[in-house]
Structure 1
Amino acid sequence: MRDEPGEISCDLVAGMLSEHWGFRVGEVVYAPVGSGSHHWIAAGVDGPRWFVTADRLDPSGSWMGSTAEQMKGTIESAVQAAKELADSGCEFVVAPLPDRTGHLVREVPAGWMLVVFPYLQGWSTSDGAWDDPAEREQIAGILGRLHAATPPRTLQRWDFAVPGRDVLLTALADLDRPWSSGPYAEPTRLRLSAALDYLRARLAHYDTLVREIEASDDPWVVTHGEPHSANVLRTNDGRMRLIDWDTVRLAPRERDLAAVLGGPTDVLPAYQAQAGPISPRTAALELFRVWWSLAEIATYVQLFRRPHTDSQDSRESWQDLTTYVPG
């Protein structure tokens, strides 16, 4: 997120790190990176640094169909699952650091969930594309190891629901009058109006794929959920480390494979070397690609149906929406 939240100051983050993690913090700066969550980099007075993430619990009681309590439980189970994976030998997992009482998540007074990670020197890409064939092959092998791992005890099960589908359907039924919730509300309405038949067809196509995959008896595995290039940190020791584990779920393996297969280089052998002689299902790969586009559309429609301003985050969200909804 590019826009720093007004509810959480750098001083508040420093205070939380001192009070609950026992860290001696010298400086905290906001890091305008990623999407969805807000981030800070904290430096200790004696050298170490930490990467701090905060997610807002929706004060209205729901966000994309989840209550605030459900959001809290989802975050807590996801970070615990990541910690268990790291402790079990999955060194490619960047796991959160427990506080002095063993908690991995702390709720700050304003209704935000705060998680602390070690700060690792490295770099990531600005988008999710796997353009480097060698890197695509390497991440395929990592996913093979992940999918062969024993599921953590706290791991939640993925379901086929498209987050925010009800929000999207409500919006599609309300295209006959202007929207006035902010500067991108009316452009969103016009965009959806022009693509109404396309969107209805995509929803119907997704439902057809769901029926096919639900009938399958293929085993579900531990999946990251978003193993795109921007969620991989290339550390200075030459390794790849997967970050952003809030989407970790027990799910069909194609949930991850949809992000890495299909490039000019066949990386399936690298995956199979770790996961076994597995052949991904074409219909399942298509299901997750369609799911992703519908979930992204619903997220941006939800955003622009609510009061919003012309911020940098809003502008980037609008550009993203236009990539998923044809003009």
Structure 2
Amino acid sequence: MKDRPAGLDERALRDILGAWGIGAVSLDYAPVGFGDYHWVAADADGPRWFVTVADLTQKGPVEEGSAESGLRQAMDTAVALREQGLDFVVAPLATGRGESLRLLGERHAVSVFPLVHGRTGDFGESLAAGERAAVVEMLAELHRTGAPASTPVRPLRIPARDRLEDAIQASGGGWQGGPYAEPARALVAGCAGRLRERLDEFDRRADEVRGEQLVVTHGEPHPGNLVLADGGPLLVDWDTVGLALPERDLWLVADGPDDLARYADITGRRPDPEIMDLYRLRWAIEDVALYVDDFRRPHESGADSRQAWEALTDTVRGLVEQVAEARKGG
């Protein structure tokens, strides 16, 4: 995130790093990524770490339990996958008590990672053919790995869809969350019918998916969560890890039949392009639901809000245009 988290005491953050045996002499904010907050910590002896602070109020819906328990499950799963020999998993380091994260107050959760080096990308960036092949092979290895006991299930249905349905229902009135509340309301109201069509389409197509074997998936293996290092690609940000269909990962990476054939050669399972497209639709609907929900809550007009607004408008435009194209084609 570009904006620092409001209400977080960085002195308390520095103190909590002692749970990992880190006596930080420097703690520098790193305005990277979108969703969590990051710092680079260093101690007097020279080692450096990548510190992540998650705002639990901003985490998406979980199947059961709290946002904290859901995040802890995910971090524990990443640790277990690393211990099972998946060297591309950038997993959190354990505290002296063996914890993968520690709470900082009631709202934030802290995890500490090794600081890895390599080239990082951005969401939507195209990978070179060789890089893409390496990521497909990495995902095939992940999907063939036995699931740790802590692995959460990530159902095909959209946990946040009720937030979008509620926003559509409420789009006839005024929204007061902040500077983007009324523009978000107008955006939803202006295309409410087409958004409902996409929700209905998702439900119809999801009902047709039957009896597929679930595998361990990362959930968001796009270039923004990759570190392209000399020894091969590394995967970061494991908070979305979970048991799901392999297409949950593959739609973000595979680009054509050669990638799918490579995956099939390794795993013995040929991905279904229709299910990949269904996950693409799922991603867009969930993004709209979460962004709109954020704009109905108290928010400011900082860089992160502007980025979220641009992402929301682009995603809604894409969903609406696909409905228009389908009608034209029909």
Please say whether Structure 1 and Structure 2 have the same fold, judged by a TM-score greater than 0.5: yes
Instruction: Return the match for 2:288 from 276, 279, 297.
Output: 297
How many angstroms apart in 2 are the aligned matches of 1:157 and 1:232?
23
Match of 1:167 in 2: 163
Match of 2:305 in 1: 314
1:71 aligns to 2:63 (yes or no): no
Indicate conservation of the 8 Å contact 1:179/1:189, yes or no. Answer: yes
Q: Which AA in structure 2 matches 1:8? A: L
| Pairing of 1:133-148 with structure 2 (within 5 A) | 133-148=129-144
- 1:79-127 Cα distance to aligned partner (Å, 9 max, x none): 1111111111100100110011111110112431111100112221132
Indicate conservation of the 8 Å contact 2:88/2:235, yes or no. Answer: yes
Task: State the identity %.
Answer: 36
- 1:301-326 Cα distance to aligned partner (Å, 9 max, x none): 00111121111111000000011112
Instruction: Return the match for 1:256 from 249, 252, 257.
Output: 249
Task: Single out whichever of 129-138 and 238-247 deviates more from structure 2.
Answer: 129-138
Instruction: Return the match for 2:232 from 239, 254, 262.
Output: 239
How many angstroms apart in 1 are the aligned matches of 2:184 and 2:206?
28
Task: Single out whichever of 7-16 and 151-160 deviates more from structure 2.
Answer: 7-16
Match of 1:86 in 2: 82
- 1:153-206 Cα distance to aligned partner (Å, 9 max, x none): 110111133232111111111222232321111111111122222211110011
Q: Which AA in structure 2 matches 1:296? A: D
Match of 2:261 in 1: 269
Match of 1:52 in 2: 51
- Which consecutive residues of structure 2, in runs of 5 or more, have no partner in the other structure? 321-330
Instruction: Return the match for 2:315 from 305, 319, 324.
Output: 324
After superposition, the Cα gap between the structure-2 partners of 1:317 and 1:162, relative to the gap in structure 1 and judged at 3 Å, is same
Deviation at 1:281, TM superposition (A): 1.7
Task: Single out whichever of 137-146 and 254-263 deviates more from structure 2.
Answer: 254-263
Deviation at 1:259, TM superposition (A): 0.8
- 1:276-296 Cα distance to aligned partner (Å, 9 max, x none): 2x1112331122111100010
Deviation at 1:65, TM superposition (A): 4.2
- 1:235-278 Cα distance to aligned partner (Å, 9 max, x none): 2x342100000100011111011111235x721233234322x1
After superposition, the Cα gap between the structure-2 partners of 1:131 and 1:156, relative to the gap in structure 1 and judged at 3 Å, is same
Q: Which AA in structure 2 matches 1:127? A: F
Indicate conservation of the 8 Å contact 2:261/2:270, yes or no. Answer: no
TM-score (norm 2): 0.91
Instruction: Return the match for 2:213 from 209, 216, 219.
Output: 219
- Which consecutive residues of structure 1, in runs of 5 or more, have no partner in the other structure? none
TM-score (norm 1): 0.92
- 1:44-94 Cα distance to aligned partner (Å, 9 max, x none): 211111111111233xxx965459952111111111111111111100100
Give RMSD over aligned pairs: 1.9
